[in-house]
Every structure is written in C-alpha cells, then in structure tokens.
Amino acid sequence: MNPVETAGAEILSEIVRIVNATTDLEERLRQIVDLTAHRMGQDVCSIFLLEDGRLVLRASQGLNPESIGRVSLSLGEGLVGWACVHRVPVAVDNAQADPRFKYLGATGEERFQSLLTVPILLQGECIGALVVQTLSPSSYTSDKTELLTTIASAVSGVIRTAQLYKNSQEQLAALTAISEISRALISTLDLDRLLNLIVEKSVNLLNARGAILRLLNPETQTLEIRASYGLPPDVARSRALAFGEGIAGRVAVDRRPVRIDDASRDPLVAATGLFKSILCVPLVSKNQILGTLALYDRGGDLPGPFNERDEHLLVTVGEHIAIAVENALAHERSEALAEESQRRLMELSILYDIGQAMSTTVDLNRLLQIILTGVTIGGGLGFNRAMLFLYDDRARTLEGVLGVGPRDAEEAWSIWQRISHVQTVDEWAKTTGRTAEAEESALTKLARSIRIRVTPDAGVLARTVLEAVPFNIPDALNDPRTNPELAARLGTNAFATVPLIAKDRVMGVILVDNLFNQRPITEDDVRFLMLFAHQAGRAIENAQAVAGLDAARKSLLELQDRLIQTEKMAALGEMAASIAHEIRNPLAVVGGFARRLMARLPEAMTAERHYGEIIVKEVKRLEKILEEVLAFSRDARPDLVVCDVASLLNEVLSFIEDDCRENGISVTADFPPEPVYALADPAQIKQALLNLFTNAVQAIRRGGEITAHLRRVPAPEERISIEIADTGGGIPNDIMANIFNPFFTTKAAGTGLGLAITRRIVVDHHKGEIEVVNRPGEGATFRIHLPAATVCPLPEAKEDAP
C-alpha cells in the first residue's frame, strides 16, 4: 500500500467513525473538513453543496464561519464552479492569478495562495465540491488530488446517507400525520364535527393558513361549503358551486388534484385577498365524488406555495378523509332513518292516544270535539285551529259543524300556557267534559256559517270531497284553486284540508291552519293528518251507526209501547164484550117486558105509559152502547166481498133519513151513476159510515147540511174516495189529536167508540185511510179511502139478487 492509499484508508476510517458518531449532516461535514484540513496539512478545507442551482458553502475549516450557509457560487463561477461544471479536479498554485478565480469577500480567502478542488459526484451527478487551500504557495501533487477525490466520494456517501435519512424522516412525519388524521377521522361519526376536524388536521398537516371543505349535495348537485378554517365568515358562508365552476368545481369534475400558486384564479378566494396559493384535492369514495378539500397558503418554516410532496400527502390523506366522510354520511343517513322511525312511532302513539280518546264515546258531538281537539292539542297533531265539515251527499252540501281553536293570539297564548302540562289527548279527554265550550266557541260559529254546494268549481273544500284527496294551500290569496271568500272568512292565508273517509265514502272535511304561530304546514303534516282523518272517519262512522241503532231502538220501544197499548185496548175490549153479553140477556128481558107492559096500558094511563116509554128508550140506548162495545172487540174480522159502495152509502143514508128530517138537516149525495165496487165487508163499512153520519148529525144538531161525495180515483192510485162533510162547526183544535182514541167522547151520552171503530174498520180491516179536514167554526170533513176492487162481482151474485 502506497502512502496515499494508506493516508486515504486512515481518513476514510476516520470518516466512518464520524458518520457513526453523529446523525447531523452539518456536524458530520464540519468534522470531515476539520479532519481533511488537518490530515492533508491544509489551512482551509470547505464543502460547497449544490442547492437550487447554486453552490452554497455548507462547511469550512479556515474560512470565516459567518459565511457558512451565506456564501454561494453559481455553476461555472470561480474555480469551484468550473470544477463542478467540468467534473474534474482543479489544482492551482496561485489561485488569484487564475482567471477563473472568483473572490468571495465574506470568506476572507484572499489570504490563501494555493487551491485544490474536486467535484463531489453522486450517481454520476455533481452535487457539490470539496476544496482545500493553503496560506503559503504550494503545489498539489497528483497524490494529493487523488486523496481529496477519495475524501470527496466519502462525503458523497455521507450526503447520500443523510438524504436517505431525511427522506425516511419526512416519510415518517407524513405517516405520523396521516395516522394522526386517521385517528381523528374515526373519533367521530358526527358529520359536522368530523368535517371540522378534517379541515383543522389538514391545515396542521401542511402548515396551511386556510382550508375549505365542500360536500356534494346530491339533490342540488352542487358543492356546498360544509367546513372551513382561517376564513372570514362571509367567505365560509358563500354560495355553493356547480360542477365545473371554480377550482373546486373543476377538481370535482376531473377527480384530479389542482395545485396553483396564483389564487386569483379562484374568484371566491381572490375576492378576500387573503391567500396566494391553493392545493385542492377531490374526496372520492367507492368511485363516487363526495366533495373537495382545498388548502390555502403554506406557512410555518417553509412558507410559500405547496410542493409536490404536499400534494401527494394531501391526496393520500384525502383517500382516508373520503372514507371517513362516507362513513359519517352513511351514519347520518341511518340516523335520519332512525329519526324517521322514531317520528313514525311518535305518530302512531299520538294516533293511538287519540284513538283511545275517541273510543271513550259514541256520542257524535263529543266525538267530533275529541277529533278536532286531537288535531289542535300539543300532544296531538298540534295545529293552531281546526274545523270540521260534514258532507250531506243527498243534498250535495258541505256544512261546518264544529271549530276548535283560540279566538285570537292572546287566547292562544293563555290556552297553551294552561294545557302545557297535559301530556296526551287521552288524558285531556278524561279530564275534560266541556262539549258546551266548543259548542259555543267563536270558531264553531264561524264554521257553522260556512255551507257550500259541492261542485267541482266551488274551491278547495268541495274538491277535497269530490277528489277525496288532501290540499295544502300555503298562499291562498295567490292560489287559483281557492275561493278568496273562504280565506277571507277564515282570516288565514295558509291552510290545509283533508277528507274524512270511511268505507271509501267521503263523509266530511277537516280544515286546519296555524294562524297564530304561522308555522308552515308541511307535506309531512298533511300526510299525518290524512292518517288521522282515516281513523277519525271510521270513528264517526261507528258513532253514526250507533246513533242509527239508537234511533232504531227508540222506534222499537215506541212500537212496543203502541203494541202494549193495543194489547190493553184489546183486553179492555174483551172484558167489555164479556160484560156486554152478560148484560144483554137481562136487558133484552127488561126491555121486552117493558114493551109488553106499554102495549097493555090503557091510553088513559098517560103517566104510566110515559114511564114505560122511558124504560123502553133507555133499554134501546143501552143496547146501542153494547152494540158499539161489542163491535170494537177484536173478533170482528172482516168478511171481504166485492160490493157496491154507492148502494151501501144509500142504505146508511136511509137509516139517518128520519133523524135528519126531524132536525132540519139537508143531505146531499153526490154519487156517480154506475156502481163503485170495493173489496169490503158490507156490514163493517156500513157501520163505519153510519158512525160518521151519526157524528155529523149530532154535530149539527139542528139546521145544517151534510154532503156525501163518492168517486173512484183511477190508476195508479186505484181507490175509492168517500167524503162526508158537515156544517157542525168543526172540531176544537185541542181535541183533534184525540178524536180517534177509543172511549174518547165529547158527548154526554156516548161510548167514545164511534170514530175508533170507524178507524179500525177502515185502516185495520180494509187497509184504507181516513183523514179529517177540520174547518173550525164551519165544520168537519171526513175522508175515507178504500182500495178499489179491480174485478166486478160475479154474474151469479147478480142473478141471485132479488
């Protein structure tokens, strides 16, 4: 081994020791220049390193220490620069005499005479130069040049190691930053908190001075600012960007990062005048663009524009961010779903509560009030006011029946204060029984003043019925669907209507508004109200069914009453009949012998004859009474045959003829010339008619007129009409209702059975009708209708007649 090799080997082993002793590049270089100067017997040893195209003095033994890091040469400048450009060692004995020499004032190098410099090469590239100098002139042998070249290659190795170390340090820092961000990203699922964390951590990572995170709103397809850092509030709240608009818009479309030094290209940021450089990356997850993250202006120890390493780092972090944002969005969606289920559960529980309240009554008025209260109470649907209209589908009208809600804002306030402690509608229903309050409310009066004909052009209320769909009217004045008069009467500009439906039939409409708190009615509100209206519709239907049952029950009870009454009368009739029979025999005997007695009394015994006459007359009257009582008994079944009513009437008229003549009563008979046939029991009909005529005679007493009309009313009525009118002064109004009652009489000596029997014969036995036209002060007209016989009597019957 020659001396150079030996010296070289020693120096190299020293350098290895230096490298192992310290990790700091500056310190290593300082020790290397110390070592080299000392071992090679030089006054100066320096290292220049190429940084950004200039050779910067990085270490020196012998030159002014102040100049380290401050002094530099361009490539080709001075002997050092020349050596670097030509990649060859340069040795000059008298440096200042060499035209290539460049005097560097700050270093104090003018004192040095000779100079040897070799380029430091790394993988074929020149990365700097190693220089030695002496005060006294000296000549550099090739040995010394060779030795310095060897040291230069060792320095190259040191620098290479340092670069690798620095790179790995930087990578470690980036990984640490990423892991820190990742930790932050998984620390929350709350989207807003996450987005704020993202901008904060990203700003820290790149030492940026500002950041904007935008997310894509899938509905509007715009990029909305969701989080920002270091920006004034007006910028942070600025409008969303469309796809392709601005830098963020372009990044979102291209899905590639953008790094620019001139922020004036982003008008939003340029307007603030705050930032110069921008780095914007897309946030992409599962191949979907979620948004963008933009950072502004690098600060910290390396201020200025963002570099490639920053971009790479932010892109890497951006992938993690995108996943975290995606997760948070998914979480938010599931939260929204959970909230939705919660809301539906709430709705169901409200419906259940109101349902419970509704089930407490079948009284329709009370039910309607519960329904409207359910619509307005805080624990229910929570509208300010509600009105209920019922639909009459026969008349095709919709009529307000009830209103629930405060009269004005003041009353609204006091009511809300009062009921704030009431939890549910059910509780309300149990604690309140004031139907009357709602009955008399101003809103009820308002509701009842509204009555509309349901036609397609009559406005929203009518259409709610006809189309069976809800209407939400946010601005009644400018809504062509509404009738301006309705909105004016309601005093509101926003309202909603829903149909009350039961079994596919619209039975009414509920109208709601929020007049007092002006809360807009949402589609969700309407949907819920619709659900409720279905329930309410069924309840109303039930109540109406119950009301129908109730009415049916009442009429059954009445019918039962009447039957009992009839039974009583029948029992009375039977009893009367049996008594009548018992009396009849002895009466006939008494009367019979009285007549015999009369026949035997001589004319002269006038007083005795008078007594006898009285007995005979009284017996006659008693027998007549018995006749009527017995006729009223139920066994008098009709024996229906085809008979001529005209001849029956004539027979009856002949019975009363004498009576009428005696009392100055004229009788007019107005009968058609041909027979008028009816299917009737002749004896019963005669009895019925006789009763009417007898009544007429008794009503007139003396001097008057009885008119009998008979006519046949042709098909479709197909009946016989008999009218008996008198001039007997009519029937007092107060007894009109009683005249057909059995045993009702105005006569001193009457059974009160005459009209009752007549009615029984006509109505019960002949399915006919009887009516009275009373003319108080003048007279009365009794009109009997009997079904006409559609066939004539058999010819044999006529032949049999005498």
Partner 1 sequence: MSAKRILVVDDEAGVRELYREELSDAGYAVETAASAREALQSLKGSAPDLVTVDIKMPEEDGISLLREIKERWPRLPVVICTAYPVYRQEFGAWASDAYVVKSADLGELKTTLRAILGA
Residue 799, CA distances (Å) to 498, 640, 644, 795, 796 in order: 78, 20, 15, 6, 5
- Per CB under 8 A, the list member of 589, 669, 713, 735 interacting with partner 1 is 589
Q: Which is nearer to partner 1, 103 or 593 (CB)?
A: 593
Residue 72, CA distances (Å) to 106, 159, 656, 686, 768 in order: 10, 18, 160, 153, 138
Q: Is 60 exposed, middle or buried (0-12, 13-18, 19+ CB in 10 A)?
A: buried
- Per CB under 8 A, the list member of 300, 592, 664, 776 interacting with partner 1 is 592
Part in contact with partner 1 (CB under 8 A); list of ranges 14-22, 251-259, 279-287, 593-601: 593-601
Q: Which is nearer to partner 1, 131 or 690 (CB)?
A: 690
The Cα–Cα gap between 340 and 346 comes to: 10
The Cα–Cα gap between 695 and 715 comes to: 32
Closest C-alpha among 572, 612, 611 to residue 592: 612
The DSSP H or E segment spanning 661 is: helix 645-663
The Cα–Cα gap between 447 and 452 comes to: 11
Q: Which is nearer to partner 1, 525 or 681 (CB)?
A: 681
Q: Which is nearer to partner 1, 344 or 596 (CB)?
A: 596
Q: How far is the CB of 653 from partner 1 (least distance, A)?
A: 21
Task: Indicate whether 591 belongs to the interface with partner 1 (CB under 8 A).
Answer: yes
Q: Which is nearer to partner 1, 682 or 742 (CB)?
A: 682
Binding mask 529-568 for partner 1 (x = CB under 8 A): ----------------------------------------
Q: Which is nearer to partner 1, 485 or 608 (CB)?
A: 608
Residues in binding contact with partner 1, number by CB under 8 A: 29
Q: How far is the CB of 616 from partner 1 (least distance, A)?
A: 7
Q: How far is the CB of 591 from partner 1 (least distance, A)?
A: 2
Q: Which is nearer to partner 1, 403 or 682 (CB)?
A: 682
Q: Which is nearer to partner 1, 374 or 612 (CB)?
A: 612
Q: How far is the CB of 770 from partner 1 (least distance, A)?
A: 23
Sign of the alpha-carbon torsion through 222, 226, 230, 231: positive
Q: How far is the CB of 747 from partner 1 (least distance, A)?
A: 22
- Residue 430 gets the label, from left (phi > 0), alpha (psi -120 to 50) or beta, of alpha
DSSP 676-734: -EEEE-HHHHHHHHHHHHHHHHHHH-SSEEEEEEEEEE-TTT-EEEEEEEE-S----GG
Q: How far is the CB of 756 from partner 1 (least distance, A)?
A: 17
Closest C-alpha among 73, 116, 80 to residue 100: 80
- Per CB under 8 A, the list member of 39, 396, 538, 595 interacting with partner 1 is 595
Residues whose CB falls within 8 Å of the CB of residue 169, separated by 6 or more in sequence, listed in order = none
- Show contacts with partner 1 in window 359-398 (CB under 8 A): none
Part in contact with partner 1 (CB under 8 A); list of ranges 49-57, 59-67, 335-343, 613-621: 613-621
Strand ranges inside 95-134, DSSP E: 114-122, 125-134
- Residue 140 gets the label, from left (phi > 0), alpha (psi -120 to 50) or beta, of beta
Residues whose CB falls within 8 Å of the CB of residue 311, separated by 6 or more in sequence, listed in order = 257, 259, 279, 281
Q: How far is the CB of 585 from partner 1 (least distance, A)?
A: 5
Q: Which is nearer to partner 1, 599 or 737 (CB)?
A: 599
Q: What is the DSSP letter of 760?
A: I
Closest C-alpha among 610, 176, 545, 151 to residue 363: 545
Q: How far is the CB of 624 from partner 1 (least distance, A)?
A: 10
The Cα–Cα gap between 609 and 597 comes to: 9
Q: How far is the CB of 583 from partner 1 (least distance, A)?
A: 8
Binding mask 567-586 for partner 1 (x = CB under 8 A): ----------x--xx--xxx
Q: Which is nearer to partner 1, 623 or 723 (CB)?
A: 623
Q: How far is the CB of 625 from partner 1 (least distance, A)?
A: 13
Contact (Cβ atoms closer than 8 angstroms) between residue 198 and residue 227: yes
Binding mask 676-715 for partner 1 (x = CB under 8 A): -------x--------------------------------
Closest C-alpha among 238, 323, 313 to residue 287: 323
- Per CB under 8 A, the list member of 103, 413, 593, 655 interacting with partner 1 is 593
Q: How far is the CB of 722 from partner 1 (least distance, A)?
A: 23
Q: Which is nearer to partner 1, 494 or 580 (CB)?
A: 580
Q: How far is the CB of 701 from partner 1 (least distance, A)?
A: 26
- Show contacts with partner 1 in window 201-240 (CB under 8 A): none
Q: Which is nearer to partner 1, 507 or 580 (CB)?
A: 580
Q: How far is the CB of 623 from partner 1 (least distance, A)?
A: 6
Q: How far is the CB of 578 from partner 1 (least distance, A)?
A: 10
Contact (Cβ atoms closer than 8 angstroms) between residue 470 and residue 486: no
- Parallel/antiparallel/unpaired status of strands 665-670 and 704-713: parallel
Q: Which is nearer to partner 1, 442 or 575 (CB)?
A: 575
Q: Which is nearer to partner 1, 43 or 628 (CB)?
A: 628
Q: How far is the CB of 584 from partner 1 (least distance, A)?
A: 4
- Per CB under 8 A, the list member of 38, 111, 596, 747 interacting with partner 1 is 596
Q: Which is nearer to partner 1, 420 or 578 (CB)?
A: 578
The Cα–Cα gap between 121 and 84 comes to: 9
Q: How far is the CB of 789 from partner 1 (least distance, A)?
A: 19
Part in contact with partner 1 (CB under 8 A); list of ranges 211-219, 568-576, 612-620, 671-679: 612-620
- Show contacts with partner 1 in window 617-676 (CB under 8 A): 619-620, 623, 627, 630-631, 633, 635-637, 639
Q: How far is the CB of 793 from partner 1 (least distance, A)?
A: 17
- Per CB under 8 A, the list member of 4, 85, 362, 590 interacting with partner 1 is 590
Contact (Cβ atoms closer than 8 angstroms) between residue 63 and residue 109: yes
Q: Which is nearer to partner 1, 143 or 651 (CB)?
A: 651
| Token reading at 789 | 């016989």
- Parallel/antiparallel/unpaired status of strands 288-298 and 208-217: antiparallel
The Cα–Cα gap between 254 and 68 comes to: 47
- Show contacts with partner 1 in window 309-368 (CB under 8 A): none
First to last CA, the chain: 184
The Cα–Cα gap between 222 and 289 comes to: 11
The Cα–Cα gap between 632 and 613 comes to: 29
Q: How far is the CB of 596 from partner 1 (least distance, A)?
A: 6
Part in contact with partner 1 (CB under 8 A); list of ranges 154-162, 288-296, 509-517, 591-599: 591-599
Q: Which is nearer to partner 1, 619 or 649 (CB)?
A: 619
Phi/psi at 718 (nearest 5 deg)?
Answer: 55, 65
Contact (Cβ atoms closer than 8 angstroms) between residue 384 and residue 376: yes
Q: Which is nearer to partner 1, 639 or 771 (CB)?
A: 639
DSSP 3-state of 769: strand
Residue numbers of the site for partner 1 (CB under 8 A)? 577, 580-581, 584-596, 616, 619-620, 623, 627, 630-631, 633, 635-637, 639, 683
